[in-house]
Amino acid sequence: MTTTNLEPYWMPFTANRAFKKAPRVLHSAQGHYYTDADGRTLLDGFSGLWTTGLGHCHPKIVAAVQAQVATLDYAMAFQMGHNKAFELAEKIIAIAPPEFTRVFFTNSGSEAADTALKMSIAYHRARGEGNRTRLIGRERGYHGVNFGGMSVGGMTANRKVFSPVMIPGVDHIRHTHSLGDMAFSKGQPTWGTHLADDLERLVTLHDASNIAALIVEPVAGSAGVLVPPVGYLERLRETCDKHGILLIFDEVITAFGRIGAAFGAQRLGVTPDIITVAKGLTNGVIPMGAVLVKESVYQALTNCPENLIELFHGYTYSGHPVAAAAGLATLQCYDDEATFVQVRNIEGVFETLLHELKAEPHVVDIRNFGLMGGIELTSRVGSAGARGTEAYLRCFAEGVVIRNTGDIIALSPFFNSTEDELIRIIDTVRRALRAID
């Protein structure tokens, strides 16, 4: 048992008082397992926080970080550069959809989302359409917790306290989930393409000349794995093209292998104008995010005298050398280990095992895409979220780490998971569901 004083640390997205009465403190990690402060070994069924698909403490990434921190620990990001950031940007572009040519580094997915929104507004202004300032998000969307991402996001719990001070000029299209029409779909649901037409409603309401961008997750993760219906993203792309609206894909979760390709845009066959990434960029080892843009976006924003700063935006740690070294090593591992092919090879096994939970107590829906899985439970009357939390705690007690968002259990296994590991995760969830009322 840990003897660390837990009180000073105010933990994020955590019921702090409840946690500190019964703490779950991790001590180390290796491969697919954590070791907690009591010496117990825990199978990580969520691969970090959608982050660590290659496994914990991957030796090649560890070595790259150790070498970099001993060589160049920090480099000023403004008006100076270092080789690792340029190399990483080149490597990212090499595996991105061909229209993408430029990378802007941030420190997180939240920062990447806000950066993309600012770029969108600046893009239209640079093209003489400065009236295009309205931003469109989606209900149940998650784009981080900074004010821009929170405003275009559609997670009620994240928004309600800060509602009076959200950024103005934001609207939302409806979300894509309908239990009555989509329950227990495998992969993309066949119902719901028409939901993309809600963007036309907002174009009619606000006029396209005032709308800068639409931001969506190709597959919504934090809301509980909401998979886009067949044809849905294609229709959003068509509508954005029709009205001159930039389309942003938030790929903080879906990029770098989670759904079996370097980018969700490639797996789903729809190319946006801007892509945000983080998490899998460094395998979760060092905080880092990025924004990828098409050449047309970059050229519009750099159409000024060459001695002037084109975009007054950035972070002290943009392109941090240690994070860049981790990113380079991570991308090399994806290549060396044929990671994206690995995911495609095991996603069918994961899907089959996941849907075997259909008949278990409290389960009203199961959905999946790639190595993303969501199990939705009926909420206990007067205590929404209690069943999901109890399932999470029971799994932890059995030595398996999962995640719950309210009464939705989310699974995010490692890209190189074995079938036995997947079976253990699903069996542990099954026992948890049978044990709760």
Is 0.85 surpassed by the pTM of this model?
yes
Please classify residue 20 by burial: count the beta carbons closer than 10 Å to its beta carbon, then call 0-12 exposed, 13-18 middle and 19+ buried. Answer: middle
**Does the domain at residues 64-336 carry the CATH identifier 3.30.930.10?**
no
pLDDT at 1: 53
CATH architecture of 16-54+338-435: Alpha-Beta Complex (3.90)
Burial of 8 (0-12, 13-18, 19+ CB in 10 A): exposed
Backbone angles phi, psi at 143, to 5 degrees: -135, 35
In a 3-state reduction of DSSP, which class is residue 293? Answer: strand
Dist. CA 126–CA 389, nearest whole Å: 48
pLDDT confidence of residue 2 = 57
Give the DSSP letter string of 300-354.
HHT-S-TTS-S-----TTTT-HHHHHHHHHHHHHHHHTTHHHHHHHHHHHHHHHH
Closest to 187 in 3D by CA, of 363, 358, 351: 351
DSSP-derived 3-state class of residue 19: helix
**Are 91 and 356 within 8 A, CB to CB?**
no
Alpha-carbon distance of 386 to 383, in angstroms, equals: 6
pLDDT at 3 (0 to 100): 75
Give ranges for CATH 3.90.1150.10 in the chain: 16-54+338-435
Q: How far is residue 282's CA from residue 285's CA, in Å, rounded to a whole number?
A: 6
| CATH 3.40.640.10 in the chain, residue ranges | 64-336
Strands (E), 19-153: 26-30, 33-36, 41-44, 100-106, 134-138
CB-based burial of residue 415 (10 Å sphere; 0-12 exposed, 13-18 middle, 19+ buried)? buried
Q: What is the mean pLDDT for each group of 10 consecutive residues in the chain (437 residues)?
A: 85 96 97 96 98 98 98 97 98 97 98 98 97 98 97 95 95 97 97 98 98 98 97 98 98 98 98 98 98 97 92 97 98 98 98 98 98 98 95 98 97 98 98 97
The pair of structure tokens assigned to 190 is 């066949």
